[in-house]
Copies of this chain bind each other. A is one copy, B any other.
Amino acid sequence: MLKGFNAIGFEESKEGNKYLHAFSPVKQTDLPENFAVATTEEVNKAVAKAVAAFGIYKSLPPETKAVFLETIAEEIMQLGDALIERAMQETGLPEARLVGERARTTGQLKLFADLLREGSWVKAVIDEALPERKPLPRSDLRKMLVPIGPVVVFGASNFPFAFSTAGGDTASALASGCSVIVKAHASHLGTNELVATAIINAAKKCDMPDGVFSFVVGEGAVTGMQLVKHPGVKAVGFTGSYYAGMAIYKAAVNERETPIPVYAEMSSINPVLILPQQLSKDTDKIATQLAGSITLGVGQFCTNPGLLFLIDDETSATFIQQLKEKLAALPAGIMLNKNICSSYYKNRKIIAQQNAVSVLHAGDEVADEIKGSTALMQVNTADFISNPQLQNEMFGPASLIIKCKDQTELQQALQSLHGQLTGTIIADTNDMQSFSACIETLTSKVGRLIYYGVPTGVEVCHAMVHGGPFPATTDARSTSVGADAIKRFVRPFCWQDCPQEFLPDALKDANPLNIMRKVNGHYTKDKLSN
């Protein structure tokens, strides 16, 4: 059933003579299909088609684009169990998780369809002409967000649906009016082909221009870089390692004639502040919640809680013992692929070997079964602060406790933190007040602050921020999840003294789209009365 092609727009293309194979962490073996690596010519052709398609696609009515996104969701559902089964084989993720992730993926597409129909996301702003103004009259000025051009998407291994071929980056880029080229993730090539086929079927059904979506197979450092450096490409969405993300980001700035924005989500260890009063009330409950969060998806979440900050006292000693026991009781789980599994044990070992780190628990290394076992380590504040290596992401079911003598030490530890996607505060009102300076510091380091909860679990909604200061992302001004992800692929554009008939609908006097606009400084859906 799988053909192993590259989708150069609507064309199934296999010009090259190199192949990649999908690997099954469940079967611990390569899967049989050959996936043709895209040639340089195929990559260039995909970009050329994306450029041409963008010229048409960007100007299609919002309703047309909304229907396209919804049809992609329908076509994904049409793939049925075959999709779930293939993804299970390729990722080792359990069925229920993948069924849930598929729902999130189709939900994302529908959220953007709704956003397009509502229409106000373009941020229309109108300042009417003031012909009588002295000393000089004012022109009529109108602006809105417009799409920037073809977007390259690097899918993530850990969310084969929600952050991959038809994931958040693709959905938000298509919603913005940009064409998309996906660099297929080598860790789930079959899943990619199935989902891509759904997108292409939807594009054909909806009469989208050929090239609105393409995907290519190949190594990130070769095929991926060719895309990043191509002059036709105008933005990049990436989720993955710090090393790969930075390579893309720097190439986009230094190795192109025209630099382009790169939205790379790279590395986050998601600090959790467990403050004394709340901890003393809910010791066991908090240990249970955190053990669950640390091991969710075998620790392969961007928002996995990798650092736990505790004030050293009797309660925290009890808590640590409970957390250790709960983690030790959990079985090792199948990880996404061999690389991720071996990296996890390697990184875990490096942390364990650092000065002053004590290993409270470390499950057996079962890399030959591609399984990740749990671990819990501990370090004091001074050693944490002096050793940046302790902030390297392990990406697996392990966490490091930082024991702080008091609030002063906690504040110092937090000040030394790198940028993060999330910070979590487990605290009651008294804790919140006593530790307000620490919370302020944590706030400056993260994109989202969670009160008494766990960082894993990212809601797809309007108010989500899934982003954060470097190195969590290359661009803290953005979110990769939620409605505002669309803003990554647009730029503001201003029309001065443009006749009504040549203005986009969003900016016409009559407000035919009935959207919220800012007119002469005031928010309104009213028509302009002139």
Contact = CB atoms under 8 A, between A and B. Distances in A.
A303 B469 CA distance: 34
Contacts of A261: 475, 477
A419 interface: yes
B494 A447 contact: yes
Interface in A113-131: 114, 118, 120, 125-127
Interface in A216-263: 249-250, 253-254, 258-259, 261
A493 B447 contact: yes
A109 B138 CA distance: 19
A125 B485 CA distance: 14
Contact of A465 (B253, B459, B462, B493): B493
B253 A449 contact: no
Contacts of A360: none
A127 B452 contact: no
Contact of A114 (B440, B453, B477, B521): B521
Interface stretch (A31-39, A201-209, A369-377, A496-504): A496-504
Contacts of A381: none
A182 interface: no
A66 to B, nearest CB: 14
B494 A463 contact: yes
Nearest to A448: B494
Interface in A445-464: 447-453, 457, 459, 461-464
Contacts of A346: none
B463 A142 contact: yes
Contacts of A495: 448-449, 451
A420 to B, nearest CB: 12
Interface in A407-430: 419, 429
A236 B148 CA distance: 23
A451 B499 CA distance: 8
B521 A448 contact: no
B452 A497 contact: yes
A498 B449 contact: yes
Chain B CB count within 10 A is highest, among A100, A443, A498, for A498
Given A135-B100, A461-B127, A494 B449 contact: yes
Nearest to A520: B462
A523 interface: yes
A447 B492 contact: yes
Given A492-B447, A493-B443, A432 B502 contact: yes
Contacts of A249: 253, 259
Interface range on chain A (Cβ under 8 Å from partner)? 35 or more
A396 to B, nearest CB: 24
A261 B483 CA distance: 23
Interface string A467-507: 10111001111110001100000111111111101100000
A136 interface: yes
B432 A476 contact: no
A516 interface: yes
A261 B477 CA distance: 9
Interface in A71-118: 100, 114, 118
A141 interface: yes
A143 interface: yes
Nearest to A142: B463
A506 to B, nearest CB: 12
Contacts of A476: 148, 491
Given A136-B457, A451-B496, A451-B497, 4 more contacts: A126-B463, A432-B502, A447-B494, A462-B521
20 contacts: A100-B135, A118-B521, A127-B461, A141-B461, A141-B464, A149-B444, A250-B253, A253-B254, A429-B501, A448-B493, A448-B495, A449-B494, A450-B496, A453-B496, A462-B518, A462-B521, A478-B492, A479-B492, A483-B521, A516-B523
Interface of A: 55, 100, 114, 118, 120, 125-127, 135-136, 138-139, 141-143, 148-149, 249-250, 253-254, 258-259, 261, 419, 429, 432, 440, 443-444, 447-453, 457, 459, 461-465, 467, 469-471, 474-479, 483-484, 490-499, 501-502, 516, 518, 520-521, 523
The 8 A-B pairs of least Cβ separation, nearest first, read A465-B494, A141-B463, A448-B494, A127-B463, A127-B461, A125-B463, A450-B496, A476-B491
